[in-house]
Structure 1
Amino acid sequence: MNNEAPKPDWAMSRRERDVAERIAAGRAPKKRRRWPWIVLVLALIGGAGGWLVQSGTLEEMQAAREAAEAQAQAEAEARAARAAIVQLAAFEVTEVAPVTLTETLRITGSLSPVRRAHLSSEVSARVDTVAVRAGDAVAQGDLLVKFDAEALDSQLDQTRANAEATRVQLEQARTDFERTQNLVERGLQPQNTLDRARSTLDQLTATLAAQETLVANAERARDRATVIAPFDGVISDRAVDPGQFAATGTPLVTLVDLAALEVEATAPVAYAPVLTPGLAVDIRVEGFGDRLFRGRVERLSPVAIEGSRMLPVFVSLENVTGELRGGMFASGQIVLEEHEGAIGLPVGALRRDAEGAHVLVIEADTAMRRAVEPGRTWDSGALVEIISGLEPGDVVVTEPMPALRPGDKVELLEGGQ
């Protein structure tokens, strides 16, 4: 039983006034709804859980960030430690030694045999035998081509017979002329008779001379019915076959002598004052790699090629073994000047500062500054001669390495010297 005095109407809240009205009407009061509070509580609990989860993730992220920063710092320290020692490869250093410095002129050209014979037919006859093919080696005097001798013998016999007949007529004409001259002197024959006899005699004399020339030509043709090799060599071309008719001048075979070759090259006409026969030439031939063949300047053209200002230069090259062939591409360097026993370095090894020219020399695993006195450049400016400051055995940094300074520690990799 509720002993509390009821509140006055003005002191009641809306909800209390609604409850009082329901009681007065005999109805049960409405039950109070509690689900909004439950939702609110659940939302608060979920938010608290999310905050706890997020708080744990942030801690993990912070820990990972700190680990990455520590690793980066360790790597930086390792790089700094490695940078303190500069590693030098084999091609970046050179051990000083006396060498022969040269000034050269580069040339290019093709190989060609010095002796080449294009043999042609000197008779008009049928080819009976061709004894060689392209690529065959022959010796001087070997048979190359043989013509049909029967036809040549017939021509020779005919010309001889014609000449002999004319010779008989000439003897008769000479006898007649002498007899006519005697009669004319005695006044028994007119003068014109002697003139006709003299004309006949002169005509037959000329005819005999021409026929004797034909006999000589026929004899020469008979002798040249066989073509032989004029020198030792190799057949490079064959232009006829047995059974073919060859007129005078028809190409037969080409014979080349590979024992001596020649490179026909060109050089700027500005080098004419220093180019002389006899200069040595180092030649590389396509197909033989870095192998060097030794040649020499044989002769120079007296006139430059019109419009190019280039001077033809002929370089002779011995080929005793016969391994070189005509037509091969060759490049060479004519040695214009030499200096033996000198010290030379690539121009990239020379450094300059306020104190002058110097190089970096490796001493006790340290790059040390060494003052030097440079001379003239060689090999078209690729090498510089060192007059003083270096000794044989010194190890010099020859590549331009701006980051390498005197006092830096260095490590020579295997094969660096």
Structure 2
Amino acid sequence: MATGLILSLALAAASLQTADTHTVEQTEIPDRKAVFATVESIDTITARARIGGTIGQLQVDEGDSVEAGDVLAVVVDDRLAPQIAAANAQANAFAAQFSQAEIDLERAEDLHERGIYPQARLDQARTQVDVVSGQLAAARRSRDVLVQQSREGDVLAPASGRVLAVPVTSGSVILPGEAVATIASDLYLLRLRLPERHARTISEGDPVEIGTAALGGEVAPTGRIRQVYPRIEDGRVVADAVVDGLGDFFVGERVRVYVTVDARDAILIPADYISTRYGVDYVRLQLSNGHDTEIVVQRGLETSQGVEILSGLSAGDVLVRP
């Protein structure tokens, strides 16, 4: 009876000792790199003037939100009004000639039916009606072209977004194709620039973590790599990351992010096996004779699997919970 009780107590003590110890193992963890990313728009569109002239009305400024099709500015070409007036006068002249030609044709047909007008003169009158009709149609088309050109003085927003730059002012002289405003679309992303040695280790879909100091509003704490550009610029590979909630950030704002670029071997232990006194971290190491001693370790990053130990421990060491 006494022997069984002693055996039960020994087993319980051994079980307690096993539960309060931890065998150090080497494991592979992702190697994260901290970089600064800039908030960029997926598309940056330029609104350009379709005709040359003077900017009569400028209706936007930097920071304004616009919708696709909104009028940003009106370009006025003073030469178009006289040209339209001349086209109208020419069209009116051809219209009068056409009316007279139709009257002459009716007379010729009436006289031809009476037998006192030759067929050749009748054919000539019909041809004259066709010629003047064509001239009238051409004059009207020329006028329509000038009217449409005057309407193209309206500079329209090519897409919805926010105005980043307006390099012109009211009264400025502008040529066809010149930029009136630069618009950033409503879709934002983070643009990362990593050293070229990491070009082979990052790919689309890799997760990124946003620095907690940069979080604000509805910004998500994590994102993913959307695109890796196949060109290295100034020794850096460029990648875009999609993160929800970047709409309230400024374009060009810098944000600290962490991206996984490789994997490495590390020693991880549970955080409750570390005790800190006066800024120094200690763990209790079990010796081969069954006793334990306190040693100093250097703490590294904290991960979901435990705390990384940079120095002081090796794989196979047995730790005792303090």
Give me the TM-score of the superposition, normalised by structure 2.
0.52
State whether structure 2 residue 54 is matched by structure 1 residue 136. Answer: no
Matched, 1:122 2:56: no
Q: Distance in 2 between matches of 1:246 and 1:188?
A: 61
Partner of 2:265: 347
Partner of 2:147, secondary structure, is helix
Corresponding residue number in structure 1 for 2:310: 399
* 1:230/1:193 CA distance change after superposition, 3 Å: same
- 1:238 counterpart = 2:166: yes
Check conservation: 1:269, 1:311, Cα contact below 8 A: no
Structure 2's unaligned 5+ residue stretches are: 1-21, 276-282, 288-300
Aligned residue among 300, 316, 324 for 2:250: 324
Superposition pairs of residues 48-63 of structure 1, within 5 angstroms: none
- C-alpha spacing 1:251/1:195, structure 2 compared with 1 (3 Å): farther
Determine if the alignment matches structure 1 residue 217 to structure 2 residue 145.
yes
Distance 1:406 1:314 in 2: 43
Cα distance in 2 between the residues matched to 1:196 and 1:311: 77
Q: Deviations over 1:2-58 (max 9, x none)?
A: xxxxxxxxxxxxxxxxxxxxxxxxxxxxxxxxxxxxxxxxxxxxxxxxxxxxxxxxx
Match of 2:180 among 245, 252, 257: 252
Give the secondary-structure state (helix, strand or coil) at the position aligned to 1:248.
coil
d(CA) in 2 for partners of 1:222 and 1:270? 55
Q: How does 1:16-415 map to 2 (within 5 A)?
A: 111-133=39-61, 135-140=62-67, 144-148=72-76, 153-173=81-101, 189=118, 194=123, 198=127, 200-201=128-129, 203-227=131-155, 229=157, 233-257=161-185, 259-263=186-190, 275=204, 279=205, 281-282=207-208, 284=210, 288=214, 294-298=222-226, 314-326=240-252, 333=259, 347-349=265-267, 366-368=284-286, 398-401=309-312, 406=317
The root-mean-square deviation of aligned C-alpha atoms, in Å, is: 5.9
Give distance in 1, aligned partners of 2:40 and 2:274. Answer: 53
- Rate the CA distance shift 1:288–1:299 in 2: closer, same or farther, 3 A: closer
Aligned partners of 2:257, 2:318: CA distance in 1, in Å? 44
Change (3 A) 1:363 1:190: closer
User: How far is 1:119 from its partner?
Assistant: 1.6
Contact 1:117 1:255 in 2 (8 A): yes
**Structure 1 position 120, deviation (Å):** 1.8
For these two proteins, the number of residue pairs brought into alignment is 265
Write the distance in 1 (CA, Å) between the matches of 2:107 and 2:226.
70
Q: Which has the higher contact order (CA 8 A, sep 6+)?
A: 2
- Alignment-derived partner of residue 33 in structure 1: none
Q: For 2:240 and 2:86, locate their aligned partners in 1 and report how far apart those are by CA, in whole Å.
A: 51
Structure 1: give runs of 5+ residues left out of the alignment.
Answer: 1-93, 336-344, 351-357, 370-382, 386-391, 413-417
**What amino acid does structure 2 have at the position aligned with 1:324?**
F
Aligned amino acid, residue 169 of structure 2: D
Provide the secondary structure at the position in 2 that maps to 1:398: strand
**In 2, Cα distance between equivalents of 1:251 and 1:115:** 16
1:13 counterpart residue number: none
Deviation at 1:190, TM superposition (A): 6.2
Distance 1:363 1:250, change over 3 A: closer
SS of the residue corresponding to residue 183 of structure 2 reads strand
In the alignment, what sits opposite 1:71? Answer: none
**8 Å contact 1:362–1:368 — kept in the other structure?**
no
Counterparts of 1:252 and 1:215 in 2: how far apart (Å)? Answer: 27
1:112 partner SS:
strand
The question of whether the paired residues in 2 share the 8 Å contact of 1:346 and 1:398 is answered with: no
Larger radius of gyration: 1
